[in-house]
Amino acid sequence: MEPVLKVENLKVSFTLEEQTIQALKGISFHVNSGEIVALVGESGSGKSVTCYSILKLLPKYAHIEGKILFRLENSYVDLLSFKKMQKIRGNYISMVFQEPSAVLNPLLRIGEQIVETILAHKDISLEKAKKIAVEVMKKVKIPEPERRFYQYPHELSGGLKQRVAIAIAIVNNPKVLLADEPTTALDVTVSTQILNLFLELKRDLNIGILLITHDLGIVAEVADRVIVLYKGEIVEEADVFQIFDNPSHPYTKKLLSSRPVLKLD
Ligand SMILES: Nc1ncnc2c1ncn2[C@@H]1O[C@H](COP(=O)(O)OP(=O)(O)OP(=O)(O)O)[C@@H](O)[C@H]1O
Ligand SMILES: [Mg+2]
Rounded Cα distance, 3 and 255, in Å? 28
Domain ranges of the chain: 5-102+174-257
At the fourth CATH level, which superfamily is domain 5-102+174-257?
P-loop containing nucleotide triphosphate hydrolases (3.40.50.300)
Q: Which residue is closest in CA terms to ligand 1's atom 29?
A: 44
Mean confidence (pLDDT) of the chain: 93
What's the CA gap between 142 and 161, in Å, rounded? 9
pLDDT, residue 47, reads 97
- Min mean pLDDT across 16-20, 53-57, 153-157 is at 16-20
Q: Is the CB of 60 under 6 A from ligand 1?
A: no
Quote the pLDDT of residue 264.
46
Q: Is the Cβ atom of 44 under 6 angstroms away from ligand 1?
A: yes
Higher-pLDDT residue of 217, 135: 135
Query: What's the pLDDT score for residue 263?
Result: 52
Residue 265's pLDDT is what? Answer: 47
Is 14 close to ligand 1, i.e. is its CB under 6 Å away? yes
- Confidence at residue 260, expressed as pLDDT on a 0 to 100 scale: 56
Task: To the nearest 10°, report the CA torsion of 194, 195, 200, 202.
Answer: 120
150-200 pLDDT, tens digit per residue, is 999 999 999 999 999 999 999 999 999 999 999 998 899 999 999 999 999
What pLDDT is recorded for position 261?
Answer: 54
- pTM beyond 0.85, yes or no: yes
